Structure 1
Amino acid sequence: MEKVSSTLEEINQNAAGIDLGSGEHWVCVPTDRADKNVRRFGCFTPDLIAMADWLIEYRINTVAMEATGVYWIPVFQILEAKGFEVKLVNAHHVKTVPGRKTDVLDCQWLQKLHTYGLLSGSFRPEDQVCVLRSYIRQRDTLIKSASAHIQRMQKALIQMNLHLHKVISDVTGLTGMKIIKAIVAGEQDPQVLASLKDPHIKSSTADIAASLTGDYRREHLFVLQQELTLYEVYQQQITAVDAEIEKCLASFEPQTLDEPPTTPRKRRKKPTANHPNFDLHKYLYRMAGVDFTLIDGLDALTVQTILSEVGLDPKRFPTVKHFTSWLGLCPGQKVTGGKLKSSQTRNVVNRAANAFRMAAFSLTHSRSALGAFYRRLRSRLGAPKAITATAHKLARLFYHIWITAGQYSDPGMDYYEQKYQELMLKNLKQKAQALGLQLIPISHPTECVS
């Protein structure tokens, strides 16, 4: 019988650990490299460069650090540029041993765990994708900030008893903005305001005029004017970010120069809300070489968010199980005593996973196989679990066409329902056979014709 070693093998002998902070960083190298193997560095850029030089002096080639707020970003970028292998680890996974907690002990604990190969680094896409991700996250932040001013404009309108939101679907659309700008400019005649409506608005001019008959108080008009100004400022900044995003997308090496394939599926004639002014779909197709929008529920904005978070290299995720596990969409497996205690998904903060969930929710009224799948699960499990399960299915489809550079073809809602009925019938036959029974289909009686 082979004897098992009782000691751990040192996997990374040239490893260092860094405990990050807002004002100082503590670095630990192996004890055989220096008399004082722990050293403190400041947070300024010259201090970080000195830290990198000190690590090079002691022949360090791999570094582990905890993900602490945003303080890790400059350290990570400088060390990576110097040629170090940097592992960014989840602080929850490297809790120190019980006892006294200090920065010195933390960096020593990280160095020890990393030496024995007990740390796994967090996923981080290639640097060019990180640049795109920064722009897209800033765009999302601006959109959320702009939405707060939309709510305040609606509040000011309601305080004047102007129920514009009840007669048009979007107060920030063409008609809504024309009316709000006219009100801010001093127009208070309901008939004049109602005449600004677009011909495609379903509400009648009389209904819109009735909704705009209210109490135009000075203080509420002042608030409306300020919120409108702030909303327009954010729209200008979003336009500026879109220009940077377009430049960044154009800088990627194209995987194909072909146009995106046309599909028989009906495309939206009107762009979705917050859609950029350039052809985002074409940029994404050429950048990835795959048209992910063929999957029902995934539009160009959703695909842009997902790709900016997962990168362009599917080989970073060895299998589809690794991909869905990283997203936190696959069922959990908590087994103790041979019994499954919980299969609840892990609580993961992931923008790509949220994008898949939003795509799943958009399938509520979709007449597709995925839409039928979501509605069946929702009727049986409820909306939250159905959204997660459908997002998991979308993620698997996404990975499949990503890794194979293939296409997705929707089999249709009728095909899905037929396959589901065949599966139910097969299960019923198996149950009946186990009970010694036999299923006999009901024959429809023929009608007697006199």
Structure 2
Amino acid sequence: MTKVRRKNGIGKDREFKVVHLNAAGVDVSPKEMQVCVPSDRDEKCNRTFGVYTKDLHEISAWLKKCGIDTVVMESTGVYWLPLFRVLKGDGFDVILVNPREAKNYAGKKTDEADAHWLMTLHTYGLLKACFQPDNVTREIRNLVRHRDNLIQSCSREVLHLQKEMEQMNLKLDNAFSDILGKSGQAIIKAILDGERDPERLAGLADWRCKKSKEEIKASLQATWDEDHLFIMKQSDDLYHYYKDLIKDTEAKIEELVNRYSASVDADKAAAMERSKKQKQLHNDVSFDIEQYAYNAWGVNVMRMPGMSKNSALRLLAELGPDFVEKFPDARHFESWANLVPNNKISGGKLLSSKVPNKNNPVGQVFRQCANALWRSNEPLGDYFRHIKARSGHLQAMVATGKKMAGIFYTMVKNKKEYDVSIYAKSKEKTLERRIKKLQAKILRLQNEQAQSGLKVTDGTD
């Protein structure tokens, strides 16, 4: 414990030094903004403003009059965003902080006290800024999150469709592995158009279907209740409506993402070595995200095992092209993505080492990518199965996701493509260590056998 104290400087006298002399604090709420500046800047240093656009510009003008150059506010819902944009546009250094890290002192809680407390903490440099992407990335992020919501709405309508078919004893999901495929969609369309003959409906199935014609025909004998057919038709209409909205959203996303290509040399972009992933999923993005991601980061992240098109799109939307400049190293990036444990130590003992319960979209992407590796023959797949056998599936997702986040950061930071040979050498060294360990165990057992004088037979006597 002595070494830890020395390393962290615990026990030494510490002095709070003023880091930001011209700092202000803002307590954000839906109906008013409470702004606090140092007491020597204005007679009324803690003022209340409205939330309309003219009020936001009044805040900016008052802060300029008070000689403020840096402002701190909590990330309260989405209410902070309009003021954040106005202050940023007027040249202020705006710091957005996590409310958990800026909890008020004990006592009566008021908006004035919260704004003053934020200003005080920021004055002494005790607050850590949240990650904020550039404006283009923010627009892409909003659209990508909207696209995810539309996909969830699509999935919900498919479940409604299946529920209505099940209540009519229409066993279409027993005959086809995917009712959204070519055969399933053709049969559903014919049913909604009024066809009820199982023989004709079964004839619409593709010849490549594994089920026999008789089994498909048997699954299409239903009660055809009018109420369920009506709901089924509306669910199918909503499903296709959402699919059209997804196409429109992807077209807008591609328009924004294409801005990253303007700063990339055409010859360099054409020289990109594509990944060998060819499998197309229902909800895959329709445009060439592999090329756009390469234009933004300078490396092809799709060559990483487990990385899908949707994962690359979400990472590009959440991080932007210059995220490596905002994290000093891979460890800080992994910690921000909520992929490392939060070690709590008291009395020289480790009390807890759980991963914090925080919702980080980037961390979720890397966990999903890691989960796709549990059957992979890649070294990362071996690592996932090794951790799973020792600690369980969830721990393996976090540990492998952390490793993937470190690889991703290093690739983008150093502009170096994914090289599987590095991890193959590491796997070889791991196997050598295991062999030496097993040989030492065999030698120890042989010595114990020799000392005891027992003779071990092989069962052939």
Q: 2: distance between equivalents of 1:260 and 1:191?
A: 51
Aligned residues of 1:369 and 1:412 also touching (Cα < 8 A): no
Residue 146 (structure 1) shift: 1.4
Matches within 5 A, 1:41-120: 41-120=49-128
Q: Deviations over 1:283-306 (max 9, x none)?
A: 222222110011110022101111
Q: 1: distance between equivalents of 2:43 and 2:403?
A: 55
Residue 191 (structure 1) shift: 2.1
Q: Residue 276 in 1 paired to residue 276 in 2?
A: no
350, 374, 387: which one aligns with 1:340: 350
Q: 2: distance between equivalents of 1:259 and 1:51?
A: 50
Equivalent position amino acid for 1:351 in 2: P
| Change in 2 beyond 3 A, CA 1:182/1:82 | same
Residue 174 (structure 1) shift: 2.3
Q: Deviations over 1:212-257 (max 9, x none)?
A: 2111100000000111111111111111100001101111134442
Q: TM-score, normalised by structure 1?
A: 0.90
Q: Residue 391 in 1 paired to residue 401 in 2?
A: yes
374, 386, 390: which one aligns with 2:384: 374
Q: Residue 421 in 1 paired to residue 431 in 2?
A: yes
- Report the equivalent of 1:304: 313
Residue 180 (structure 1) shift: 1.4
Matches within 5 A, 1:151-190: 151-190=159-198
Q: Residue 351 in 1 paired to residue 361 in 2?
A: yes
Q: Deviations over 1:72-96 (max 9, x none)?
A: 1111111111111111111111111
Q: 1: distance between equivalents of 2:69 and 2:150?
A: 39
Equivalent position amino acid for 1:379 in 2: A
Residue 33 (structure 1) shift: 0.3
| Change in 2 beyond 3 A, CA 1:422/1:185 | same
Aligned residues of 1:320 and 1:400 also touching (Cα < 8 A): yes
Name the SS for the 1:233 alignment partner: helix
Matches within 5 A, 1:176-325: 176-252=184-260, 253-255=262-264, 256-262=268-274, 266-268=276-278, 270-313=279-322, 314-325=324-335
- Report the equivalent of 1:442: none
Residue 338 (structure 1) shift: 1.8
Q: 2: distance between equivalents of 1:40 and 1:235?
A: 46
Equivalent position amino acid for 1:293 in 2: M
Q: 2: distance between equivalents of 1:429 and 1:341?
A: 36
Name the SS for the 1:257 alignment partner: helix
- Report the equivalent of 2:455: none
Aligned residues of 1:254 and 1:288 also touching (Cα < 8 A): no
Q: 2: distance between equivalents of 1:361 and 1:329?
A: 14
Name the SS for the 2:150 alignment partner: helix
Q: 2: distance between equivalents of 1:261 and 1:83?
A: 41
419-428 or 292-301, larger mean C-alpha shift: 419-428
- Percent identity between the aligned chains? 37
Q: Extract unaligned runs of 5+ from structure 2.
A: 1-11, 449-457
| Change in 2 beyond 3 A, CA 1:91/1:431 | farther
Equivalent position amino acid for 2:290 in 1: H
Equivalent position amino acid for 1:177 in 2: Q
Aligned residues of 2:285 and 2:309 also touching (Cα < 8 A): no
| Change in 2 beyond 3 A, CA 1:421/1:328 | same
Q: 2: distance between equivalents of 1:434 and 1:37?
A: 76
- Report the equivalent of 1:448: none
Aligned residues of 2:274 and 2:300 also touching (Cα < 8 A): no
Q: 1: distance between equivalents of 2:186 and 2:415?
A: 45
Q: 2: distance between equivalents of 1:191 and 1:388?
A: 51
Q: 1: distance between equivalents of 2:235 and 2:189?
A: 11
| Change in 2 beyond 3 A, CA 1:411/1:6 | closer
Residue 205 (structure 1) shift: 2.6
| Change in 2 beyond 3 A, CA 1:409/1:201 | farther
Backbone CA RMSD of aligned residues = 2.4
Q: 2: distance between equivalents of 1:211 and 1:413?
A: 50
Name the SS for the 2:173 alignment partner: helix
- Report the equivalent of 2:372: 362
Residue 435 (structure 1) shift: 10
Q: Deviations over 1:140-185 (max 9, x none)?
A: 1111111111111111111111121222222222222222121111
Equivalent position amino acid for 1:128 in 2: V
Equivalent position amino acid for 2:307 in 1: L
Equivalent position amino acid for 2:353 in 1: S
Equivalent position amino acid for 2:132 in 1: R
Q: 2: distance between equivalents of 1:285 and 1:210?
A: 50
| Change in 2 beyond 3 A, CA 1:41/1:413 | closer
Residue 436 (structure 1) shift: 11
Q: Deviations over 1:307-347 (max 9, x none)?
A: 22122221211111001000111233222222222222122
Equivalent position amino acid for 2:157 in 1: H
Equivalent position amino acid for 2:362 in 1: A
222-231 or 336-345, larger mean C-alpha shift: 336-345
Matches within 5 A, 1:133-144: 133-144=141-152
